[in-house]
Homo-oligomer: A and B are copies of this chain.
């Protein structure tokens, strides 16, 4: 199965491009799931994270196309965190959710192959459907990942305050983030599927919609992973500015919300029913906002 074709078919069927970010901030995990000291080095902390995200994932089945675990929050728990992530990914897959691992890896030659073998190759211990990548080291570093047939999302223009330090530096042919986007065009073209969308996608922050338009022009067939919706301040309309008309609405990527769905008002409780209600409410709100933004 071609990742981009699969993802876009699911997004069309659901009518919204929401991706739920699985970022288990330890301090925010609700009392319902907390165990032990919740310190990163406490073995029980990984169990708490697993219980919390498992309960979240159970509520996402049939509602969203894809989830995005942020691997840093698992790495901070040591090997137990990675073992918990393996089980959470398995649970997502049992629930029919695509998994886009946010790892922002980038390295050369045999090391890039190591990362591809860790997360994308057949037989990988923690096999996911797609991975975020950093291409500062050059286009050759993307090849081992491209060879796996999985989905790739390369950082182009991010949503943090310092994003412009490097990404906005001007060259005679445009800013660096656009040069990065244009550099990716041949690989994007190579990985296009039947829907016209490519397995080579890009990360473009929701806080800079005008830049999304420029990146879309440079990469007409690349799916966008748009972080920064909700908690980071981006609007739904802004988040889909790089999208284009498709058969059932605007399409061309997914929009991530992490904290907005995982830690809404009312979810800091030890009451299971109240917690479920808070999560469902936040999920419905994000789905509605993004569904309206892509509706024609």
Contact = CB atoms under 8 A, between A and B. Distances in A.
Contacts of A134: 104, 106, 134, 136-137
Interface in A101-127: 102, 104-112, 114-115, 117-119, 123-126
A41 interface: yes
A163 B179 contact: no
A169 interface: yes
Nearest to A122: B41
A72 interface: yes
Nearest to A84: B79
A246 interface: no
Interface in A144-200: 155, 158-167, 169-172, 176, 179-180, 183
A163 B136 CA distance: 8
B166 A72 contact: no
A105 B104 contact: yes
A89 to B, nearest CB: 11
A118 B79 contact: no
A285 to B, nearest CB: 22
Given A41-B123, A138-B167, A170-B172, A114 B162 contact: no
A86 interface: yes
Interface residues of A, number: 64
A140 interface: yes
Nearest to A83: B79
A39 interface: yes
Contacts of A106: 104, 134
B163 A138 contact: yes
A83 B79 CA distance: 5
Contact of A72 (B23, B41, B115, B161): B115
Contact of A76 (B23, B114, B135, B176): B114
A83 B125 CA distance: 14
Contacts of A78: 82, 86, 118, 124-126
Contacts of A139: 162, 165
Contacts of A16: none
Interface of A: 23, 25, 39-41, 70, 72-73, 75-83, 86, 102, 104-112, 114-115, 117-119, 123-126, 134-141, 155, 158-167, 169-172, 176, 179-180, 183
